[in-house]
Amino acid sequence: MAQAEVRDLHWRAEDPFAGVNQRALAYGLGRSYGDSCLNDGGLLLSTRGLDRFVAFDPATGVLRCEAGVSLAEIIDLTLPQGWFPRVVPGTKHVTVGGAIANDIHGKNHHRAGTFGAHVRALELCRSDGSRRVCSREDSPELFAATVGGLGLTGVVTWAELQLRKVAGPYIAAETVEVPDLDHFFQVSAESDARFEYTVAWVDVLARGRHIGRGLFYRGNHAETPARPGEAGRGRLSVPFDLPSATLNRLTVSAFNFAYYRKNRRQRGEREQHLDGFFFPLDGVGRWNRIYGKRGLLQFQCAVPTAAAPEVIRELLGRIAAAGQGSFLAVLKTFGEVPSPGLLSFPRKGVTLALDFANRGPKTLELVRQLYAVARQGGGAFYPAKDAVMSPEDFAASYPRLAEFERHLDPACSSGFWRRVREGHPYQPSLPLGPPAAGGKGVTP
């Protein structure tokens, strides 16, 4: 497999495309699964050297920072001053540029919409040497193409974000047991009205009438201020790649059961540090090693509300029947706040996210089945968590694709883009899964 060359960007005032004569792609912290942040045979423009804050107003919560700043760094700076990003994903080790390019969503999608909804402005550098500040008012088309634009419209050098006010680092969290899928929909509907953050963990191995069994997490920012000296929790780490043999039906089943039991005991209400509530995996260094050397395959779809109960039941049923469990199956309802990007993934309905240990053709076959089922139900797929979707799946997921393509930067491309637009097939040798956490200058 041809590797990509890497060039580190360091200064936002400088042209990221200077002297570039091959297909290039911005690269943040590589937390996308699959090939949407890879560019084999081309050039990766690593943005981690663009890690400076530009301006922050603690009165209004407006932050301007360079695109390589991570959400973790933002939280370190602003949380002590009472501000928190409006939307965070399941890990804080993503860059602002990456969060924009995938227009990421969080547990509060039903209230806040996507990350892009809170981007006030961004600066975009294109390979023709131009740079433009885009917002909903200025260059709105380029703004809509760049939010959720998968890095294909150019390089974002800085962005201005609206943060939200919080009293302290705690979440008033509650865990509710959900015996089956019908209950999930019930609990979800009543929770979305009362809680800013909602998400469910599902036991993917439950069968028959137990399908959809799981735990529902919900929470609001607590009014409690920070207790001095208390930080997030310490780190556990998976020290080496577990041999794939350890990941069989039995261990997954045991893990899921243990997780279910452990968390069931924690049912009820409690105040929790937001690190544990939002970023549980960040507490386990190199968690992706649980999946062994071949890594993992992610799958995430969003299904329209009407079709959701049936489609989600069918998907979970097939996974349970195949016995190819996943440590993390996450179910969440997306709300109606419109996403600002032409290629934004979130849309009203229900989203299911899963990962599978990559066991080669068998896994691929199952995942392909899931795509077929979801697509029949009008489902859409998430490029950030994908290594499998076909050009047809992609086109069906993104009806505004033609409009988007008018804004492509001719010098930009990615493995994902060549796969879904030019029909280059999936490469099973892809190093799936995010790399280990690292500091400035880590290259893929």
Residues in contact with another protein, counted by CB under 8 A, come to a total of: 20
Provide, rounded to whole angstroms, the least separation between the CB of residue 227 and another protein: 21
Residue 25 interface partner, choices another protein, ligand FAD, none, CB cut-off 5-8 Å depending on type: ligand FAD
Q: Which is nearer to ligand FAD, 197 or 322 (CB)?
A: 197
Quote the DSSP letter at residue 95: B
Q: Compose the 63-82 pattern: x for residues touching another protein by CB under 8 A, - for all others.
A: ---x----------x-----
Helix (H, G, I), strand (E, B) or coil at 22: coil
Chain residues 303-332 in contact with another protein, contact rule CB under 8 A:
none
Burial label for 439, CB within 10 Å (0-12, 13-18, 19+), is exposed
Task: For another protein, give the closer residue by CB, 207 or 440.
Answer: 440
C-alpha angle 3/4/9, rounded to 5°? 150
83 interacts with another protein by CB under 8 A: no
Q: In the complex with another protein, which residue's Cβ is closer, 78 or 272?
A: 78
For residue 440, state whether it binds another protein (rule: CB under 8 A).
Answer: yes
Q: Which of 151, 169, 325, 379 binds ligand FAD (CB under 6 A)?
A: 151
Contact letters for another protein, residues 91-120 (x by CB under 8 A): ------------------------------
Those residues whose C-beta lies under 8 Å from the C-beta of residue 209, and which sit 6 or more positions away, are: 180
The interface with ligand FAD within residues 94-123 (CB under 6 A) comprises: 94-95, 97-99, 101-102, 104-106
List beta partners, residue 202: 214
Q: Are strands 5-8 and 43-46 parallel, antiparallel or unpaired?
A: parallel
Residue 37 near ligand FAD by CB under 6 A? yes
Q: Does 7 participate in binding another protein (rule CB under 8 A)?
A: yes
Strand partners of residue 170: 273
For 65, the enclosing helix (H) or strand (E) is strand 62-66
Of the candidates 274, 241, 47, the residue with the CA atom closest to the CA atom of residue 155? 47
Tokens 């969440």 belong to which residue? 332
**Residues written for the chain:** 444
Residue 426 makes contact with another protein by CB under 8 A: no
Task: Judge whether 104 and 197 are in contact, CB under 8 Å.
Answer: no
Q: Which of 15, 109, 12, 137 is nearest to 69 (CA)?
A: 12
How far is the C-alpha of 328 from the C-alpha of 343, rounded, in Å?
25
| Piece in contact with ligand FAD (CB under 6 A), picked from 20-28, 73-81, 203-211, 264-272 | 20-28
Q: How many chain residues are in contact with ligand FAD, going by CB under 6 A?
A: 33
Asked if residue 67 binds ligand FAD (CB under 6 A), the reply is: yes
The reply on whether position 204 binds ligand FAD by CB under 6 A is no
Question: Among all chains, which residue has been given the structure tokens 């965070």?
Answer: 88
Furthest-apart CA atoms within the chain: distance in Å:
60
Tell me which residues touch another protein (CB under 8 A).
7-8, 10-13, 49, 52-56, 66, 77, 438-443
Tell me which residues touch ligand FAD (CB under 6 A).
25-32, 36-37, 47, 67, 89-91, 94-95, 97-99, 101-102, 104-106, 150-151, 155-156, 281, 384, 414, 434
